[in-house]
Amino acid sequence: MLVKKPTHTKINVIDSIMGSGKTSWAIQYMNNSPRHKRFIYITPFLNEVKRVIDSTDREFTQPQNENDGTKLDDFNS
C-alpha cells in the first residue's frame, strides 16, 4: 500500500489600503515565480480579474455564472 506523506500549504494573505500596490505586487510575484508554482487570486472586482489575467502568462480558471452549482464546484473541477 502506498501512503502519501501529508503536505503543508503556505497561504499568504496580502491586506493593505487601496492604492498601495497589492495587485501590482501580486502580478510581479506571479510573473517571477517558477511555472510549477500555483496561485489562487481572489478579488471581488471584475476589472482586477481582467487586469491580473491580462498581465500574467499563467492560466486561470474562473467560476462560471450558472444557476446550478457553486463557485466551489468550479474550483474543484
pLDDT for the residue 77: 60
Q: How many residues does the chain have?
A: 77
Q: What is the pLDDT of residue 61?
A: 81
6: left (phi over 0), alpha (psi -120 to 50) or beta: beta
pLDDT tens by residue, 29-73: 999 999 999 888 888 888 898 999 999 999 888 777 666 767 677
* Nearest residue to 55 (alpha-carbon basis) of 16, 24, 77, 76: 24
Q: In angstroms, how far is the first alpha carbon of the chain from the final one?
A: 27
Give the SS3 label for residue 4.
Answer: coil
